[in-house]
Amino acid sequence: MGIDDTLNKEQAEAVRCTEGPLLILAGAGSGKTRVLTYRVAWLMTEREVQPWNILAITFTNKAAGEMRERVDKIAGAQAASVWVSTFHSLCVRILRRYIGALGYDTRFTIYDADDQKNLMKQICRKKEIDTKVFKEKMFLGNISRAKDELISPEEYEMNAGSDFTQKKIEEIYYEYEKQLKLNNALDFDDLILKTVRLFEKNPEILDNYQERFRYIMVDEYQDTNTAQFRLVSLLASKYKNLCVVGDDDQSIYRFRGANIRNILNFEKEYPGARVIKLEQNYRSTEMILGAANEVIHNNKGRKDKSLWTDNGRGEAVSYRQFGTAYEEAEFVAGDIAMSVRNSERDYNDNAILYRTNAQSRLFEEKFIAANIPYKIVGGVNFYARREIKDLLAYLKTIENGVDDLAVQRIINVPRRGIGQTTILKVQSYADSHEISFYDAILEARLIPGIGRGLSKIEKFGELIQKLRRESDTLDVPGLLAEVIEVTGYVIELEAEGTDEAKARIENIDELKSKAVSYAEAHSGEEATLGGFLEEIALVADIDSLDNDQDYVALMTLHSAKGLEFPYVYMAGMEDGMFPSYMAISSDDRTELEEERRLCYVGITRAKKRLTMTGARCRMVNGQQQYNPTSRFVKEIPEEYLAEDVDVSREPTPEPPSAKYRQKMNEFRRKPYAAPKPYEKQEPKTLKGVGLEYGVGDRVAHKKFGEGTVTNINDMGRDYEVTVDFVGHGVKKMFAAFAKLRKVE
């Protein structure tokens, strides 16, 4: 079977082009995973490249797993030694071997967002920083961005100048790094950063990997950040057989440091690079693709391309606006329930995509009521749950005794009567003797003024020591069971007897079975405690999405990237939700463009039918918000958007007939202006009078001059109006005080 029979011309070309730098611009649904897998097979069979000389990097474990599976299928057993890995797990594997060269212990722990926040909290306390003025999140955000850009604390210091805030960040950055090192821990960004540093400082180690990975492929290249870019450059610089696949229109991770220039400047960075465009879409219908093309066309500064398909016209994209988010969710649940009942679809043919995780709640409620099986991807990560983190902290403490954060988490969990005063005494003893918190516990009797706490502390220390000894003989599931046993963790929850406690016990049972399946998957000498902890640290929630199970998938638009579903619902299509309020009010136009790319990603997930929904009114942060239809909906021309909405299965009292159509046409005619204010239709005005202006209207303020209303919040007794003033920026004000006047 030749590749020309199964691939189109461009795809086949991309497979054959194995030597030198290659950029594959792969539009949504253009079969890039197919190309990548065939390329791996081609390298091995036609070019006789050894499988272990091939490295394929993806973004998520799920993508890596899928690729692995498909490579195995077409290339057989020899493919097993091809490295298919995420950036993070690749780096961890390298660091576990060589991080000693950077002065860390190879048993380092990996800090997740929660751990980072805890550490930062401690640092702020220590540095006596008022976290009302400087928020932990602000520090972490800046540090993370610096790390993504490979900026060390020293370099940060040089750039900080005399700016007060910058100086503070610099100071905290130093301390944060110091603490991580003391705890023998790395955060997510460090995994990439330290690997880059390792290679830069140790040419012989780099050379070793350059020899090893002679052919490198990177998926989702548009989402790489500077550190990842550098890592790839280093690895590829010797043989230059680098194939990157990406789509600049699907770059949606700038907030995480993704640098779109990595893909836009690839040809400059690698002179002589081949560029192959994949523009035939095998996923969606013409209608869906047309809508997607039109929307993304509003962005500037993109590589020009236009997707096409021969999948046929298909159904138009439909848009429905509801009065409330409640009705919106009800409609979606009803729509899905109906079509499943009619055997038109299975549950897992459907996905609901939204901008923010908070939007999942209403859908969850409605799905439970309608008895629809569903799975929420993202939100609170399983491994971020308290009981799971507690038990993992025990395991971490057993594995790496210098992780103070883990020890402090569990020292009084379950309750041992060890309070804050005792902990502080241990801490200051540890600090002054420059030993870890755990080591201080072990010599607790030397701590001055420890008093009654001593026996409790000692007991805790003995407990951990005992578990450590047992860890030599027990496997991971056995050790976990032992931890649960000796701490009485589950027994305590059982005694509580609440529903919440029961849910926690269920989660613990799930953790147990994950430990068992880890042990099974790595049967043999490989199944170590460290390996288990590492696997857990690197899983994303999206990895748990199982194609074989029949449930509706609910997730954010970001999580949906790389996935496809026959029926897609994009919910919350409102200006203020999507595009987000942040993007709308930002001076930076590119923020809106990023949102638009996100919209493009959402639209192109749909294979057969795309339904967009929105609500005129919804609760956000406990406040009622009135939002106009999303500008993205308005960017879809009539020819792709459903003219008449199927009302037969719609329970709303007034079917959107001629009136509805008229309204649709009305807002479509004015491309960017918001529709007529909803407030006018709102009868109850506790405020005496309704507002004479609405979202999108031009208003005048006696101090700030003219501006445009971007949002109105019903605060109960008054309206909170957000206005974007010319020359004065965005202001929030109360309608009763502001005395805004409508300007025609």
Asked if 137 interacts with DNA (CB under 7 A), we say: yes
**616 closest CA partner among 667, 665, 575:** 575
**Active-site residue, 541 included:** no
Query: Residues 316, 641: contact at Cβ < 8 Å?
Result: yes
Query: Residues 468, 432: contact at Cβ < 8 Å?
Result: no
Which C-beta is closer to DNA: that of 368 or that of 726? 368
What's the Cα-to-Cα distance from 347 to each of 231, 496, 605, 648, rounded to whole Å?
Answer: 41, 36, 16, 21
In the complex, the smallest distance separating the C-beta of residue 261 from DNA, rounded to whole angstroms, is 19
In the complex, the smallest distance separating the C-beta of residue 295 from DNA, rounded to whole angstroms, is 17
Asked if 86 interacts with DNA (CB under 7 A), we say: yes
In the complex, the smallest distance separating the C-beta of residue 314 from DNA, rounded to whole angstroms, is 28
- Relative to beta strand 705-714, strand 719-725 is antiparallel
* Burial class (CB within 10 angstroms; exposed 0-12, middle 13-18, buried 19+) of 58: buried
Q: Which two tokens stand for residue 298?
A: 């509003």
Which C-beta is closer to DNA: that of 312 or that of 448? 448
Phi then psi dihedrals of residue 354, to 5 deg: -140, 170
Asked if 132 interacts with DNA (CB under 7 A), we say: yes
Q: What residues numbered 587-606 form the site for DNA, per CB under 7 A?
A: 591
The torsion defined by the Cα of 434, 438, 442 and 447, in degrees rounded to 10, comes to 50
With CB under 7 A, what is the number of residues at the site for DNA? 49
39, 88, 214, 616: residue in contact with DNA (rule CB under 7 A):
88
268, 415, 669, 703: residue in contact with DNA (rule CB under 7 A):
415
10, 112, 171, 219: the catalytic one is: 219
Asked if 632 interacts with DNA (CB under 7 A), we say: no
Asked if 417 interacts with DNA (CB under 7 A), we say: yes
Contact region for DNA (CB under 7 A) — 131-139, 174-182, 324-332, 644-652? 131-139
Asked if 421 interacts with DNA (CB under 7 A), we say: yes
**Active-site residue, 739 included:** no
**Active-site residue, 219 included:** yes
Nearest-Å Rg of the Cα atoms of the chain is 28
CA separation for the pair 444, 458 (Å, rounded): 7
In the complex, the smallest distance separating the C-beta of residue 229 from DNA, rounded to whole angstroms, is 14
208, 298, 318, 412: residue in contact with DNA (rule CB under 7 A):
412
End-to-end CA distance of the chain: 69
Tell me the β-bridge partners of 743.
698
**Active-site residue, 250 included:** yes
21, 453, 677, 707: residue in contact with DNA (rule CB under 7 A):
453
Classified as helix, coil or strand, 691 is: coil
Tell me the β-bridge partners of 276.
24
Q: Would you tell me how many other CB atoms lie within 10 Å of the CB of residue 503?
A: 13
Residue 536, amino acid: I
Asked if 584 interacts with DNA (CB under 7 A), we say: no
Q: What residues numbered 213-252 form the site for DNA, per CB under 7 A?
A: 252
Which C-beta is closer to DNA: that of 274 or that of 385? 385
Which C-beta is closer to DNA: that of 7 or that of 695? 695
Classified as helix, coil or strand, 23 is: strand
Q: What residues numbered 90-109 form the site for DNA, per CB under 7 A?
A: none
187, 220, 635, 697: the catalytic one is: 220
Which C-beta is closer to DNA: that of 90 or that of 216? 90
In the complex, the smallest distance separating the C-beta of residue 287 from DNA, rounded to whole angstroms, is 27
In the complex, the smallest distance separating the C-beta of residue 666 from DNA, rounded to whole angstroms, is 29
Which C-beta is closer to DNA: that of 28 or that of 75? 28
In the complex, the smallest distance separating the C-beta of residue 499 from DNA, rounded to whole angstroms, is 13
Q: What residues numbered 679-738 form the site for DNA, per CB under 7 A?
A: none
Q: What is the DSSP string of 516-560?
A: HHHHHHTTTTT--HHHHHHHHHH--GGGG--TTS--EEEEETTTT
Asked if 121 interacts with DNA (CB under 7 A), we say: yes
Asked if 358 interacts with DNA (CB under 7 A), we say: yes
345, 605, 616, 631: the catalytic one is: 605
CA separation for the pair 383, 725 (Å, rounded): 45
Asked if 637 interacts with DNA (CB under 7 A), we say: no
Asked if 357 interacts with DNA (CB under 7 A), we say: yes
Phi then psi dihedrals of residue 320, to 5 deg: -135, 135
In the complex, the smallest distance separating the C-beta of residue 313 from DNA, rounded to whole angstroms, is 33
Cis check for the bond before 655: say yes or no (omega within 30 of 0): no
184, 350, 471, 556: residue in contact with DNA (rule CB under 7 A):
556
Greatest CA separation found in the chain?
A: 84
Contact region for DNA (CB under 7 A) — 174-182, 470-478, 574-582, 677-685? 574-582
Asked if 115 interacts with DNA (CB under 7 A), we say: no
Which C-beta is closer to DNA: that of 229 or that of 270? 229
In the complex, the smallest distance separating the C-beta of residue 621 from DNA, rounded to whole angstroms, is 4
Which C-beta is closer to DNA: that of 601 or that of 641? 601
Q: Which two tokens stand for residue 250?
A: 């699907």
222, 226, 250, 309: the catalytic one is: 250
In the complex, the smallest distance separating the C-beta of residue 252 from DNA, rounded to whole angstroms, is 7
**Active-site residue, 452 included:** no
Identify the sign of the CA torsion 128, 132, 137, 141: negative
| Residues 6 or more apart in contact with residue 721 via CB below 8 angstroms | 691, 709, 711, 712, 713, 732, 733, 734, 735, 738, 740
Contact region for DNA (CB under 7 A) — 85-93, 97-105, 317-325, 502-510? 85-93
18, 33, 324, 465: the catalytic one is: 33
Contact region for DNA (CB under 7 A) — 77-85, 394-402, 575-583, 653-661? 575-583
Classified as helix, coil or strand, 435 is: coil
3-state helix, strand, coil in the chain (%, to 5): 50, 15, 30
Residue 213, amino acid: F
Asked if 165 interacts with DNA (CB under 7 A), we say: no
Length of the chain: 744
Contact region for DNA (CB under 7 A) — 71-79, 514-522, 554-562, 565-573? 554-562
**148 closest CA partner among 229, 216, 93:** 229
Which C-beta is closer to DNA: that of 112 or that of 249? 112
Asked if 418 interacts with DNA (CB under 7 A), we say: yes
Asked if 609 interacts with DNA (CB under 7 A), we say: no
What's the Cα-to-Cα distance from 3 to each of 15, 23, 46, 490, rounded to whole Å?
Answer: 8, 20, 11, 56
Classified as helix, coil or strand, 304 is: coil
**Active-site residue, 33 included:** yes
User: Half-sphere exposure of 471 toward its Cβ, with a 13 Å CA cutoff?
Assistant: 20
Asked if 562 interacts with DNA (CB under 7 A), we say: no
CA separation for the pair 356, 391 (Å, rounded): 29
Contact region for DNA (CB under 7 A) — 99-107, 355-363, 668-676, 710-718? 355-363
Which C-beta is closer to DNA: that of 134 or that of 551? 134
In the block, which residue shows the tokens 């790496």?
A: 400
Q: What is the DSSP string of 42-77?
A: HHHHTS---GGGEEEEESSHHHHHHHHHHHHHHH-G
Query: Residues 378, 556: contact at Cβ < 8 Å?
Result: yes
Asked if 60 interacts with DNA (CB under 7 A), we say: yes
Which C-beta is closer to DNA: that of 9 or that of 137? 137
Q: What residues numbered 529-548 form the site for DNA, per CB under 7 A?
A: 538, 540-542
Q: Which two tokens stand for residue 5?
A: 């029979």
Which residues are part of the catalytic machinery?
32-33, 219-220, 250, 605
Q: Which parts of this chain interact with DNA (CB under 7 A)?
A: 59-61, 86-88, 112-113, 121, 132, 135, 137, 188, 252-253, 255-256, 355-358, 378, 412, 415-422, 453, 538, 540-542, 555-556, 558-559, 580-583, 591, 619-622
